[in-house]
Structure 1
Amino acid sequence: MTKDGGSRVRLGMFLFRSRAAAPKRKPALIPDGKRVYAIGDIHGRFDLLSAMLDTIARDASASAGETQIVFLGDYIDRGADSRSVIECLLGGERRGWTCLMGNHEAMLLAALDGELDWPMWLGHGGAETLFSYGLSSREFAGRAQPDALRDAVLTAIPPAHIAFLRALSGSVQIGDYFFCHAGIRPGVPLERQVLSDLLWIREDFTESALDHGKRVVHGHTPVMEPEILPNRINVDTGAYLTHRLSCVVLEADQVRILQV
């Protein structure tokens, strides 16, 4: 064998050993005896939410273990019936539901707290939300009266609904999964993630192939079909536009998708 040929063989053997030594990603696991349903962005589509809850009830009837439903945020705005969505989610904790905050809930609260200009929220679907509560934002168009609009919103939206929105969590962890609305900042430990990233991050997260320590389940970035990737699962299928609401079902090391 030539000297060059021997070098090529040795290089090939080195590459083979390097690849063989690379650690394989272990499958993410849900604790034994538990099944988790994580539902993507609803955006005021109470009709789709009702259909999904019926679908989950039928699916869960075949499980002998504990079931938990996680809602990934963005319950309001853009769709026609945000009020009914919030009314449905109220008290869900007693039914084993976990409701996380989305950036649209955060925008409404920021507007109420004077931290965001009302037109910013109204232009991103807030007008439809107010309409579902019987209030037309057109009555305040062109007025420099943010206090008047704030008072009208607080009158139209029941205090229990506002309290529900303020109590929403930014994330939850179950087994080897981390659930949040938008995603996480790659390279930052999960316990040090900040709420602004959990609610708003996009490309820095969705384009990352890093192992985040846990598999992240999220919405926020609409896709035509759910994305099931080694480090993340995206279940936002743009319900208010596509008329399709998606849910990922996690049990042991298995992943399934439900759609209505």
Structure 2
Amino acid sequence: MGDVHGCDHLLERLIDKLEAEALGLPIVFVGDYVDRGEASAAVLRRLKTFCADGKATCLRGNHEEMMLDFAQGKYPRWLRHGGLQTLSSFGLGAGVSETGGPGLEAAQAGLAEVLEAEGLLDWIKDMPRQWQSGNVAVTHAGADPARPLDAQSNSLTNGHPDFFSTPRSDGTWIIHGHYIRDTAEVAPGRIAIDTGAFATGRLTAVVVAAGEDPRFIEA
């Protein structure tokens, strides 16, 4: 499933569709659950519960990494990338603007406290950056095409300049989000599924099963 970005109503709807139309297949979320949309806290709570029995995997996106850094007293530019909406969804952020403000330290401490209290902090920290089955791998932002996936970290969450121009030599197909597309797309060696839910109102997943063409499901 592509980038959710705080759109809990779409997440709920698309999970229901996947459970009806792709029953029995493992579900992998590509990351960027928070920011920009208005319900990031609800998204995190829903996903933590949904993934608890192991039937689904939540990968880490760059927005989760920015949020963790902010909660540790770093990375205030997160606020310019949707962090204000995430703070608001947790009932935080008084006196904070995109450039900081007098409430900055209180917001950082408050976010760390609420994430810890709800068991979300360690859960997010432990999110893997990739998931693979056969010749299909899922990452948040693609990968460095010249390196094995298990030898990468930053490229998986923040992207790599050669990802779109250089094919992988190992035959692995990468399913990814991060880069917004008008519609989900299949291109040589990759499948892009971020359709900008927070801006377009469309959240997309791709179903990949052995012996079948990829098919997209949208909410």
Query: Same fold by TM (over 0.5)?
Result: yes
Q: Corresponding residue for 1:244?
A: 202
SS at match of 1:138: coil
Alpha-carbon distance in 2 for matches of 1:211, 1:219? 21
> Separation in 1 of the partners of 2:94 and 2:177?
28
Residue 122 of structure 1, aligned match among 66, 79, 83: 79
Following superposition, the deviation at residue 186 of structure 1 comes to 1.4
Paired position in structure 1 for 2:177: 219
CA RMSD of aligned residues (A): 1.8
Q: For structure 1, which runs of at least 5 residues remain unmatched after alignment?
A: 1-38
Q: Find the aligned partners of 2:36 and 2:170 in 1 and give their Cα distance.
A: 32
State the SS of the aligned residue for 1:248: strand
* Equivalent residue for 1:70, pick from 28, 34, 46: 28
80 and 135 in structure 1: CA distance in 2 versus 1, 3 angstrom threshold: same
| Aligned residue in 1 for 2:129 | 170
Q: How does 1:1-260 map to 2 (within 5 A)?
A: 39-61=1-23, 66-91=24-49, 92-114=51-73, 116-118=74-76, 120-139=77-96, 141-143=100-102, 146-157=104-115, 158-193=117-152, 195-254=153-212, 255-260=214-219
Deviations 1:93-129 (A, max 9, x none): 4051011000000001112234x332x1111001000
* C-alpha spacing 1:139/1:230, structure 2 compared with 1 (3 Å): closer
The 8 Å contact of residues 73 and 100 in structure 1, kept in 2 or not, is answered as yes
Q: Which amino acid aligns with 1:117?
A: Y
CA distance in 1, matches of 2:86, 2:104: 17
What SS does structure 2 have at the residue aligned with 1:50? helix
Q: Is the 1:211–1:231 contact (alpha carbons within 8 Å) kept by the matching residues of 2?
A: no
SS at match of 2:155: helix
Identity %: 34
Shift of 1:202: 4.8
Where structure 2 has 5 or more consecutive residues not aligned to the other structure, the ranges are none
- Aligned equivalents of 2:168, 2:129: Cα separation in 1: 21
The 1:218/1:176 distance shift into structure 2, 3 A limit, reads same
The DSSP-based 3-state class of the residue aligned with 1:223 is coil
For the pair shown, the structure with the greater C-alpha radius of gyration is 1
Aligned counterparts of 1:49 and 1:149: Cα–Cα separation in 2? 26
**CA contact 1:212–1:231 (8 Å) conserved in 2:** no
Aligned 8 A contact 1:72 1:218 in 2: yes
Q: TM-score, normalised by structure 1?
A: 0.77
